[in-house]
Structures are given as structure tokens and as C-alpha cells.
Amino acid sequence: MDTETFDQFLEQLERYVRERLIPAEKQVIADDKIPDEIVAEMKEMGLFGLTVPEDFGGAGLNTTQYAKVVKAMSYAAPAYRSIFSINVGMFNSAIKNGGTDAQKAKWWPRIAEGAIACFGLTEPGSGSDSAAMATTARPDPDGNGWILNGTKRYITNAPHAEVALIMARTEKDALPKNAHVSAFIVPMDTPGVSTGSPDEKMGQSGSHISDIMLDDVHVPGEALLGGETGKGFRFAMMSLDNGRISVGAASTGYARRALDSAIKYANERQAFGEPIANFQLIQQMLSESWTEIYAAEAMMADVTARVDRGENTVKHAAAFKVFASEMCGRVVDRVVQIYGGAGYLAEYDAERFFRDARIYRIYEGTTQILQLQIAKHMLREYAAGV
């Protein structure tokens, strides 16, 4: 999308967030569900196909533009981002990086129209440790397809997704590294696919996660992403870079919302005959929060520009996600402190901000796993003389 058109779209989106999505947050929280009419509006706006090429019905956004959209959407309740971000940041990225022409032609138009996708990597016994993956895909003896068995856990959008990208073990051993994992495009209405009840969570009402159970699920040969075994993990990791940028952008947008709320509250709340915004230690918390959000915004601009230039951004995407998610945690903690006793009450937004933000430091790679990943890349670069 050209810059002028995108700027107009972003301006309209920011207005939609403030005038439509934020006023509906109480209903989303009460019902633990985004209203159907809002989901329909989001599909009509093209949010489910932001990065799908225009020739296939999408908006064709680059990564810089996509991150700006995520940040704008994340000023409202996190559920609004969750319902479309898997489509755009992970499923579509995997199709783009590893899909065959036939898979792109089949799935890109559906995603652009609003088919909801999910991403099946994590399992009860494995997350970042792909060597422990237990889900299997074995060749179908009656044809050229595959039979999948296993369980995936904590899968965002699973309860209402129409399609899943499932990582499964196609070889017993993990040599060469991660070559035992392949990726499969699995429609959720395929016989043998079922989901558990949505998990009850600490926060992020309206965003649903659940297990996916695969019981002798037969898929055709064309379901194998890229048409080759042993490349699924690489495709997954490449798409996780986009997912981590999405979480970083979401953390940054939500931190901005929390800070704006704290500024408003600090100017309205009176103590000792004046607004608490006049107190220097309140000002310190506000200024520290603004400074950290600014730093995250600068990181976002840098890493997305690198992606759009075609650079390897594994380390940079991980660093942005780590900093932004940890930053958001610090900001919402300060916001609760600024609200004081009111910050501990569900009646006020600060309590919800605190609960909602906690997951950002966990999914798409915990802070600790990503710190290890960053360090490994640093050491490899040192050894290579980079």
C-alpha cells in the first residue's frame, strides 16, 4: 500500500479504535467475546488480510505498516488484536515464506476475506523445545496424504478458527537439527480435529485459547507446507519473528493506553488540595513510562525497517519483543501505583491493564528463551568474526 493511502487508513483506524472499539470494551469483558458485528466490521476493513498480497485480495502492507496497525489496534482491549494477528503475523507469514503457489492461491484469498487462523506449535510437553514434540504425522498407507495424531496447547483462536498450521514430527530423530518437524495446513472441520473448552485466563477477556486434539486426522499430500518434509520448524521460526514483532507492537500500544489513563487520573485525583500530577514522584513515574514507550517505538521502527529491507532480524525481533513486553509490564505496574488504592479495584482500568499485560512477556517466546536466543546469535557472530 502506498504511503499516502496507508496514512489515511491508519488515521481512520485510530478513530475507529477510539470511537467504536474502546466504548465496546465493557461488553467484550462482560461477555468474554468480541461482538459479532465488530468482527464483521474488522473483516470488512481488511484487517484479517493486511499482509496478503493485493493480487489475492489483501492490503499488501509491508512489515512497518503492519506493526503500526497492530500498535494502533492495541490501544484498545487486547482481544481485538488477537483475533486477526495470528492470520497476519504468523499463518500468512508461513504461507508467504514456505507455501507452494497452489497453497498461496488457495489460502490467501480465504484469509483476506476473514477466515480465522491459528498456529499449532506448543504442546503439553513442549514449547520452545522442538526436540520434545510429540505430535506425529505419518504417511497415509492408503494414499499420498498424512495421518496426524497429537495435542496442541495454549492455541490462540483455536475455539473458533477455520484453519490451523500444525507442526508435527515426520521423522523420529532431530538430525539435522529440527529436520524432524514439518508443517501442515489443516482445516479445523477435518474429521478427527477437536478443541477443548476455552481456558480461563488471568486477563485478555474476549481472546480465546484452547487445546487442539488430533485423532487420526487424514490430510491430503498438498496439506504439507511447501510440499517438503523437514522444513516446518524453519517456516515456523520465520513466522515467529513476525509474531514477536506483533507482540512488541501490541505491548507498545497498550503501554501508551495505560499511560494516557494514568495521566488523566493523576490530573483528576486530588490529594492535599491539589492534583497528584503536581507531585514530583508521580511525575517521575509518568516520565519514566513515556521514555520507555518512546524507546520501544524507536526499536519498532528500526526492526520493521530491517525486515522490509530483507535483513535477517531474528535477533532484532527477539530484542524488540523482550524490551517492549517487559517495558509494558513496568508501565502498567507504575500505572497501578499512580492510581493508588483505586488501582487494585476492578472498577478502574488500571487493574485490567495490569492483568492483560502479563502475557506479553510469555507468549511468542518467553523473555528468558529470547534472551538465550539473542545471546546465541551474538556468540555465533563473534565466532564468525562478524
Residues 340 and 209 in one domain: no
pLDDT top residue among 238 and 311:
311
Alpha-carbon distance values, 183 to 101, 110, 234 (Å): 16, 19, 9
Residues 281 and 338 in one domain: yes
Give dist(CA 128, CA 173) in Å, integer.
Answer: 17
Q: Which range (23-37, 61-75, 230-244) has the least confidence?
A: 230-244
- Residue 376 maps to which CATH number? 1.20.140.10
Residues 203 and 298 in one domain: no
Give dist(CA 215, CA 194) in Å, integer.
Answer: 8
pLDDT of residue 5: 93
The three-state secondary structure class of 193 is strand
pLDDT of residue 357: 97
Binned at pLDDT 50, 70 and 90, residue 240 comes out as: confident
Give dist(CA 133, CA 103) in Å, integer.
Answer: 25
Domain boundary among 115, 150, 170: 115
Q: Which residue has the cell 507469514?
A: 93
Instruction: Summarize pLDDT for 261-320 with one digit per residue, the tens.
Output: 999 999 999 999 999 999 999 999 999 999 999 999 999 999 999 999 999 999 999 999
Share of the chain above pLDDT 70, in %: 97
Residues 264 and 310 in one domain: yes
- Residue 32 maps to which CATH number? 1.10.540.10
Length of the chain, please? 386
**CB distance 73 to 17 below 8 Å:** yes
Residues 207 and 258 in one domain: no
Whether 364 sits among the annotated catalytic residues: the reply is yes
The grid coordinates listed for 269 are: 485525583
Residues 251 and 378 in one domain: yes
Residues 147 and 201 in one domain: yes
* Pairing verdict, β 270-271 and 146-156: unpaired
Domain boundary among 229, 259, 275: 229
Domain boundary among 176, 199, 229: 229
Residues 165 and 290 in one domain: no
Instruction: Summarize pLDDT for 359-377 with one digit per residue, the tens.
Output: 999 988 899 999 999 999 9
Give dist(CA 351, CA 338) in Å, integer.
Answer: 12
Instruction: Summarize pLDDT for 90-117 with one digit per residue, the tens.
Output: 888 888 888 999 999 999 999 999 999 9
Provide the mean pLDDT of the chain. Answer: 92
Q: Which range (17-31, 169-183, 218-232, 319-333) has the least confidence?
A: 169-183
Task: Give the CA radius of gyration of the chain.
Answer: 21
pLDDT of residue 174: 61
Give the residue numbers spanning the domain of 167.
118-229
Give dist(CA 109, CA 57) in Å, integer.
Answer: 6
Closest CA to 87 of 101, 75, 100, 70: 70
DSSP codes of every residue in 49-74: GTTS-GGGTS----HHHHHHHHHHHT
**CB distance 82 to 246 below 8 Å:** no
Residues 162 and 243 in one domain: no
Helix or strand (DSSP H, E) at 168: strand 163-169
Residues 247 and 219 in one domain: no
**Structural domain count, the chain:** 3
Instruction: Summarize pLDDT for 141-176 with one digit per residue, the tens.
Output: 888 899 999 999 999 999 999 999 999 999 877 666
Residues 110 and 137 in one domain: no
Spot the catalytic one: 123, 292, 297, 364.
364
Residues 253 and 328 in one domain: yes
Binned at pLDDT 50, 70 and 90, residue 233 comes out as: confident
